């Protein structure tokens, strides 16, 4: 039986797509390293500024590995995670309708850095049932252009994919916006109806493991600001 030879376009096309994704991955990883460097810089600035202040309010950066970083401040934690895969915007996304993408479709392939907000006590007391929020995600393409989907301060100022180029300065602004949003995103008491009944097992267990879930808005989902209780 005669072997079927690959078409002339198959292998070159495969290599072109793989090379593009590798380029995007390298750009995203470099940005994530910059983000971690800026977080460390901000933590040191804070330490120097308040080193003699008797009021001990934490602002601490922790490197959690190549693709994860953590910032603890006040009663909150921001967790930054870089996804190791490359994504393309869906055809219905507003970015795909821009001239910027129409001129070069390869610009729509992006790496993603996600920002999550949790309560610091959820980790301190190992409350595994507590909830967190994604407050933003940063999309970066091969040309270091970026686009942010996020909550209020995090997303509103950084949604011009065509003109926004990631720099150390823009990373700092993004981080400051995430911190500012988190500080203004307060913990609300859960609805009474959701809390009025508990099981004997819940009461007998320690508060660390009770099924009385704690979260700023009781939901781990990416929702519109209009759904928030302000």
Distance between CA 115 and CA 41 in Å, rounded? 18
Q: Mean pLDDT across the chain, nearest whole number?
A: 83
Q: Which residues of 59-72 are buried (b: 16+ CB within 10 A; e: fewer)?
A: bebeeeeeeebbbb
Tell me: the pLDDT tens digits for 86-95? 999 888 988 8
In this structure, the dihedral spanned by the alpha carbons of residues 215, 216, 222 and 227, taken in order and rounded to 10 degrees, is 130
User: Can you give the residue ranges of every domain in the chain?
Assistant: 15-50+57-223
pTM of the predicted model, to two decimals? 0.80
* Predicted local distance difference test score (pLDDT) of residue 184: 85
What six digits make up the tokens of 98? 């821009």
On whether the CB atoms of residues 67 and 84 are closer than 8 A, the answer is: yes
Tell me: the pLDDT tens digits for 40-71? 999 999 999 999 888 889 999 999 999 999 99
Q: Does position 106 have pLDDT exceeding 80, yes or no?
A: yes
Residue whose C-alpha is closest to residue 29's, from 77, 79, 81: 81
């Amino acid at each position: 039986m005669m072997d079927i030879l690959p078409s002339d376009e198959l292998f070159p096309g495969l290599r072109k797509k793989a090379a593009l994704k590798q380029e995007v991955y390298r750009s995203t990883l470099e940005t994530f390293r910059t983000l971690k460097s800026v977080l460390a810089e901000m933590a040191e600035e804070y330490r120097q500024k308040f080193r003699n202040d008797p009021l001990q309010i934490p602002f601490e950066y922790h490197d959690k590995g190549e693709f994860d970083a953590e910032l603890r401040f006040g009663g909150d934690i921001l967790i930054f995670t870089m996804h190791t895969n490359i994504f393309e915007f869906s055809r219905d996304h507003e970015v795909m309708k821009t001239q910027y993408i129409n001129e070069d479709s390869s610009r729509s392939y992006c790496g993603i850095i996600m920002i999550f907000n949790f309560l610091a006590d959820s980790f301190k007391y190992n409350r595994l049932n507590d909830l967190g929020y994604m407050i933003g995600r940063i999309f970066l393409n091969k040309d270091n252009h970026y686009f942010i989907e996020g909550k209020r301060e995090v997303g509103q100022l950084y949604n011009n994919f065509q003109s926004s180029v990631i720099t150390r300065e823009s990373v700092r602004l993004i981080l400051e916006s995430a911190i500012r949003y988190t500080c203004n995103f307060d913990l609300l008491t859960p609805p009474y109806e959701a809390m009025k009944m508990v099981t004997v097992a819940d009461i007998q267990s320690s508060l660390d493991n009770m099924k009385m879930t704690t979260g700023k808005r009781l939901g781990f989902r990416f929702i519109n600001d209009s759904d928030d209780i302000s």
